[in-house]
Amino acid sequence: MDEKRAPLLEMRNISKSFFGVPVLQAINFDLYPGEVHVLLGENGAGKSTLMKILSAAYRLDSGQILIDGQEQHFKVPADAQTVGISTIYQHFNQCLDLTIAENIFLGRPPRTRFGLIDWRQMNRDAQAALSNVNTNLDARTRIGTLSIASRQVVEIVSAINRRTRILVMDEPTAALSEQEVKRLFELIRSLTERGVGVIYISHRMEELQSIGDRVTVLRDGRNTGTHKIAEMDLDSLVRLMIGRDLNQTNIAPLPDDMPETLRVENLTRKGKFQSVSFSVRQGEIVGISGLMGSGRTELAQSIFGVHPLTSGEIYIRGQRVNIRIPGDAVKLGIGFLTEDRLGDGLGASLSIRDNMSLPLWASGQEYVYGLFLNRRKERQLSNEYSRRLNVRATNMSMPVRYLSGGNQQKVVLAKWLIARCSILIVDEPTAGIDIGAKEEVHRLLINFTRQEGGTVIMISSDLPEILKLSDRILVMAKGHMVKELNRAEATEEIVMGYSLTSIKG
């Protein structure tokens, strides 16, 4: 990359707010031809907002976008495409039932003299474009039959075919194998050799050094600086991203005499898990570790009544209970924070307040005359908990879909705390939320158990998280509970070792 050449793209003093909350504050960002410029930042730091402004999906509040030194005034996304800006999102915009060629030429197919689609020409051009990037894909293959990696190649070929000069790639390697990542990087290099500028967004810090030329780190909507990647190490990048070193959270040891709150015996759901038994105590955080497909999520779902058990017994404070549907579990004081917040944790169109109070009402608490909602109590509780959990929102009657991932997760937590659940099952409680919000969630879980006498069962793929919070760790492999470890004896290697246990029979 040559600094003396004129920049392809300059974004100057870009600012944007939503609902009066500034999301981007005077961001400067530039891109030279033939460069890969990495954009780094936590969730909610403003990366995607900045890129949406570039592709004209959002309007900027103030600032300038210059291409080849010319100021641009985008009104609709098509304006950005016309000057050669293309974005490849994590979830591709492709028509699965159409062929590769149709997707490449979507919206502007070659025509015959009579204005009909010239299929021969289209397939030939598409095939030529494909072989240009050294793939052996057939242009007449339906997109829906392709692997993620191949579909990504098609996206890139479409972008080249649109004469793209600025290519934005959002988490392009999230779903790729190591081999596929290598091939993708070769393809990106062949693009930059032709003078295309690539803006590359990724959370995988390791891969940045092998693909990026420069890096810009956003934090809380501000640019913390642009650096040459070769001159940075990972630690300093993390520090730029979160603005400090990570805190050490300390947990007081659990007293020995805490009573048992939940005990399960020989739980089995055919094909998912077999004969799982364990018990948890008041004030305790028990981590469940295991690989994907080890049955940990299915176990939690069955305890909560989402899917029926084939056999087994559940006891709450020594009492045998029968949980057929989630409603039974909620009435027994169990809460379940699921992995997929928007999929099954929140009603996106409902307000923050209505989401927070739903399990409270579903468990039949706080009715007036046994029939009506106590809306004053609802307002008071939801305000109290959004303060305690530090939910950042301007307005409690705002639909929850406008919140960032971390704040949505806090709303899900709040709803179970408001419902006064005493046993909280959390499945990947910090997946996809940024480091700051993650710490807050950890603090909440510790507070819920140690101060308020709740019990937490935590499923997580994040081993450091499991090791940090759990008083005990239960390791699952292939549907079996293979090991119980104390806080003192657990290390990442040991937990991982047991996760890989092979079960016979």
Partner 1 sequence: MAETVQTDQLDNSDVVQRRTNWLRELTQHPAVSLTAILLLMWIILSRLSPYFFSLDNVLQITLQAAVVAMIAAGETFVILSGGIDLSVGSIFAMSAMTAGLVMQAKMPIPIVLAVGLLTGAVCGLANGWGVSKLQLPPFIVTLGTMSILRGFALLINKGIPIFGANPDFAFLGQGRVFDLIPVPSLVVLGVYILCWFILRQTPFGRFTYAVGSNPEAARLAGVGMSRQIISIYVLCGVLAGLAGMTEASRLSSAQPAGGVGLELDAIGAVVIGGTSLFGGEGNIVATLIGALMIATIRNGLNIVGIEAFWQNVVTGFIIILAVYLDRLRRLHGAA
Alpha-carbon distances, residue 266 vs 309, 321, 394 (angstroms) = 10, 14, 48
If binding is defined by CB under 8 A, does position 375 make contact with partner 1?
A: yes
**Contact with partner 1 (CB under 8 A): which of 253, 322, 372, 489?**
372
Helices 119-132 and 148-161 pack at an angle, to 10 degrees, of 110
Phi-psi region of 104 (alpha: psi -120 to 50; beta: other; left: phi over 0): alpha
390: amino acid identity, one letter:
N
Q: Tell me the per-residue interface mask from 319 to 338 with partner 1, x by CB under 8 A, - otherwise.
A: ------xxx-xxx----x-x
Alpha-carbon distances, residue 173 vs 45, 202, 291, 418 (angstroms) = 20, 8, 21, 39
**Contact with partner 1 (CB under 8 A): which of 118, 402, 478, 501?**
402
**Contact with partner 1 (CB under 8 A): which of 343, 493, 504, 505?**
343
Min. distance of Cβ 206 from partner 1 in angstroms?
31
Min. distance of Cβ 326 from partner 1 in angstroms?
5
If binding is defined by CB under 8 A, does position 406 make contact with partner 1?
A: no
Beta-carbon contacts of 112 under 8 Å, excluding residues fewer than 6 positions away, are 118
Task: Determine the 3-state secondary structure of 82 from DSSP.
Answer: helix
If binding is defined by CB under 8 A, does position 380 make contact with partner 1?
A: no
Identify which of residues 207 and 378 has a Cβ nearer to partner 1 in the complex. 378
If binding is defined by CB under 8 A, does position 423 make contact with partner 1?
A: no
Identify which of residues 81 and 338 has a Cβ nearer to partner 1 in the complex. 338
If binding is defined by CB under 8 A, does position 377 make contact with partner 1?
A: no
If binding is defined by CB under 8 A, does position 383 make contact with partner 1?
A: yes
How many positions of this chain bind partner 1 (CB under 8 A)? 42
Give the residue ranges of DSSP H helices in 162-269: 178-193, 205-211, 234-242
If binding is defined by CB under 8 A, does position 361 make contact with partner 1?
A: yes
Closest by CA position to 463, among listed 485, 443, 482: 485
**Contact with partner 1 (CB under 8 A): which of 261, 282, 363, 499?**
363
Are 191 and 36 spatial neighbours (Cβ–Cβ below 8 Å)? Answer: no
If binding is defined by CB under 8 A, does position 367 make contact with partner 1?
A: yes
| Residue 459, beta-bridge partner list | 288, 427
Identify which of residues 32 and 336 has a Cβ nearer to partner 1 in the complex. 336
Are 42 and 219 spatial neighbours (Cβ–Cβ below 8 Å)? Answer: yes
Residues contributing to the site for partner 1 (CB under 8 A): 304, 306, 325-327, 329-331, 336, 338, 343-350, 354, 357-359, 361-363, 367, 371-373, 375, 383, 386-387, 390-392, 394-396, 402, 415, 419
